[in-house]
Structure 1
Amino acid sequence: MTKVLITADRVITKPADPAIEDGAVLVDGEAILAVGSAAELDAVADASVTRLRCPGATVMPGLIDGHVHLAFDASEDPVRAVAQASRDELAGAMRARAERMLATGVTTVRDLGDRDALTVELRTAIASGAAVGPRILAATTPLTSRGGHCGFLGGEVATDDEVRSQIARNVAAGADLIKVMASGGALTPTGPRMWERQFPPDRLKLIVDEAARYGLGVAAHAHGTDVIADCVAAGVRTVEHCSWRTVDGISHDPRTSRAIAEKGIFVCRCISGDWKSFLGRLGEERAKAMTETVLRMRDDGVRFLAGTDAGVPGARFDDYVGTLEFFAGVGFSPREVLEMATVNPAEALGSRSTGALGPGMSADLIVTDGNPLTDLGALRKIRHVFAAGRRSAAS
């Protein structure tokens, strides 16, 4: 790959830092060589360096989706689509979904449950250049209880030995992290209800400890208020959904919420671009309670990472910005929202080379029309996408 000097009206290195006006980023292969003013970098870059001039635009870190399921098809029945597809059919569909996500500016995804470890194969193909898509962190097969949420993916465990064996299989398959279905979920109506435990607290702790033996963190699917508390006590790395459900409705626990913040656990609220329809289906009272819990968590100091849950019904692979617009709509500033999309998920996912722009960082970046620091709609106007230095077509 050749060197590329990208110049634009502004460069956002991190959302919390001042933007560099009339800025530039010098890309050298897969990495960023320099970031600074356009005048300075243009002067030091020799004539052989490709110039990509982007007037009226912003250069910023590539977006990170902290919760996707590339094996699902976002239809009303994604379970059937996964179960009935052949291995080759599913692998081909996952490639197409990954390419679609990259075109919208998503340069890293964390896949939290697939079939046959196909995300690992796709991760390898993308890294080698044989396929086009974002960087993938793969959980492979989620751990769940007998008859539990997403048991159709093959991760049902009922004993401590089965927990150890499944984690070992995931590690052998190439997992980057471990996913546990700590509570029930909507995709599996025959299993435990969304607020109910799938594992006792001591088994959750075993899952966290066993994952740690391999140097891996745990992402916990947890809707129930009591289940969220179990996950925090066990020491998971991220809590997915975190919707504070009880048999009677929604009940935010401020003590647990503050513990999440104090322990440095991140929350992926898993809001899809279809959030307006979702809130409408909840009804006014429950919708208000849901949005209020998000604001209470922010007040408690909880750090969020953006995740679409792409692949489940209504969660498309090409509407990442819709997720961000939910948080903006309930009162988060554009800088806070951009942090959820870049630096927060990079930290939560344990990546030191993504989520920001600087010398030595991975060349994962996007060029957007306008200024997303004042208008998140700018993120729907992607001009260019670079993933590990490779330039891809924008949507």
Structure 2
Amino acid sequence: MNKILITADRVITGPADQVIDDGAVLVDAGMITAVGTAAELDPSVDASASRLRCPGATVMPGLIDCHVHLAFDAGPDPISEVAQADPGELAAAMAGRAEQMLDAGVTTVRDLGDRDALAVRLRTSIESGTAAGPRILSATAPLTSRGGHCGFLGGEVTTDDDIRAQIARNAAAGADLIKVMASGGALTPSGPRMWESQFTPAQLRLIVEEAARHGLGVAAHAHGTDAIAHCVEAGVRTVEHCSWRTADSTVYDPEITRRMVENDIAVCRCVSGNWPLFLEKLGPERADAMVEVIRNMREAGVRFIAGTDAGVPGAGFGDYVGMLEFFASLGFKHTEILDMATTNSARAMGLTDTGALAPGLRADLIVVDGDPLTELDALRRIQHVFAAGRPTTN
């Protein structure tokens, strides 16, 4: 792969308050080898290297989506679509969705539940260069109770031995992490309700301990206040949704939040680009309560990470930026939001080779028209995407 020197009006190196005006990034063999001003780097790079000059643009780390379901089609009945799909056809559809996310500037995704470890196979194809797409971290089949949330993906467990066996199967299939459905969910109306716990505190501790024995962290789907508390106590790495639901209302617990911050447990709120419609369907009272707990967690120091829940009904694969605009509507600063989409997400997933632009890191980066520090919509104007140094031009 030839060296490529990318120059632009600014380079956001990460965190987002670190900006080089008239900056440049040198990419060689899939890695970043130098970052600095164009005036410094251009004369030092040999003439045979390609030059990609991007006036009016920003170079920044590639976007990260910490919560997707590539096996789901974002339609009204993803359960039937996944459960009844031919494996080959489903794999092809997943590849198309992954490519769609790459075109939107997403260079890393965390797939939190699929069928037959198809995301692992797609991960291998992308890594080998036979398919185009973002880097994939796959959870394979999420652990759930019998008849529980997303049980159709094959991860139903009851006993401690079931839990150990399923984690071992996931690890053997190539899982990068373990996903547990600690509470019910709206996608599976026949199972426990969203606020109802699906596992005991002891079982959640076992899941975390057993996952660690295989070298894996745990992401926990948890809507209910009790489930969130049990997940924090168990030591999961991330809490997905974290909506603090009870049967009657929203009950936020500042003490659990304090322990979340103390133990460096990140929160993926899982917001699709279609969030205005979602808030409308919630109704003013529930929507206000949801917004209030997000603001309370932010004030307490919770580290938020970016996730769209792409694939579930109404959550498409092409509008990552809509999710970021939700947080802007709540008063989050653009630097916070960009860190959520890059450095914070990489850290939460245990990735030390991406999420920022520095020598020695993977060349996961995007070039956008304009300045996302002042206008998030600039992230929709993707000019170039580099995933592990492989270029894609929009």
TM-score (norm 2): 0.99
Structure 1 residue 385 displacement after superposition: 0.2
Letter in 1 for 2:95: R
Structure 1 residue 17 displacement after superposition: 3.5
Task: Tell me how far apart the structure 1 counterparts of residues 99 and 188 of structure 2 sit (CA, whole Å).
Answer: 28
Secondary structure at the residue paired with 1:280? helix
Task: Tell me how far apart the structure 1 counterparts of residues 47 and 62 of structure 2 sit (CA, whole Å).
Answer: 27
Partner of 1:332 in structure 2? 332
Structure 1 residue 354 displacement after superposition: 0.5
Letter in 1 for 2:293: T
Task: Tell me how far apart the structure 1 counterparts of residues 18 and 240 of structure 2 sit (CA, whole Å).
Answer: 31
Secondary structure at the residue paired with 2:113? coil
Letter in 1 for 2:216: L
Secondary structure at the residue paired with 2:157? coil
**1:231-268 CA-partner distances (Å, limit 9, x unpaired):** 00000000000000001111111111111111100000
Letter in 2 for 1:212: A
CA contact (8 A) 2:17 2:335 kept: no
Structure 1 residue 393 displacement after superposition: 3.2
Partner of 1:155 in structure 2? 155
Task: Tell me how far apart the structure 1 counterparts of residues 2 and 180 of structure 2 sit (CA, whole Å).
Answer: 42
In the TM superposition, 1:307-346 aligns within 5 A as 307-346=307-346
Letter in 2 for 1:217: G
Q: Provide the aligned length of Structure 1 versus Structure 2.
A: 394
Runs of 4+ in 1 over 6 A off after TM superposition: none
TM-score (norm 1): 0.99
Letter in 1 for 2:53: R
For structure 2, the 5+ residue unaligned runs are none
Task: Tell me how far apart the structure 2 counterparts of residues 123 and 145 of structure 1 sit (CA, whole Å).
Answer: 27
Letter in 2 for 1:43: P
Secondary structure at the residue paired with 2:144? coil
Task: Tell me how far apart the structure 2 counterparts of residues 73 and 204 of structure 1 sit (CA, whole Å).
Answer: 30
Structure 1 residue 68 displacement after superposition: 0.1
Calculate percent identity across the aligned residue pairs: 71
CA contact (8 A) 2:15 2:339 kept: yes
**1:147-183 CA-partner distances (Å, limit 9, x unpaired):** 0000000100000000000000000000000000000
Partner of 2:39 in structure 1? 39
Structure 1 residue 314 displacement after superposition: 0.7
Secondary structure at the residue paired with 2:72? coil
Task: Tell me how far apart the structure 2 counterparts of residues 16 and 78 of structure 1 sit (CA, whole Å).
Answer: 36
Structure 1 residue 392 displacement after superposition: 1.3
Letter in 2 for 1:306: A
For structure 1, the 5+ residue unaligned runs are none
Partner of 1:371 in structure 2? 371
Structure 1 residue 386 displacement after superposition: 0.2
Is 1:361 aligned to residue 375 of structure 2? no
Partner of 2:211 in structure 1? 211
Partner of 1:75 in structure 2? 75
Over the aligned positions, Cα root-mean-square deviation in angstroms equals: 0.6
Secondary structure at the residue paired with 2:295? helix
Task: Tell me how far apart the structure 2 counterparts of residues 9 and 389 of structure 1 sit (CA, whole Å).
Answer: 21
Structure 1 residue 102 displacement after superposition: 0.1
In the TM superposition, 1:111-130 aligns within 5 A as 111-130=111-130
Letter in 2 for 1:360: G
Is 1:229 aligned to residue 219 of structure 2? no
In the TM superposition, 1:1-395 aligns within 5 A as 1-394=1-394
Task: Tell me how far apart the structure 2 counterparts of residues 246 and 220 of structure 1 sit (CA, whole Å).
Answer: 17
Task: Tell me how far apart the structure 2 counterparts of residues 328 and 223 of structure 1 sit (CA, whole Å).
Answer: 23
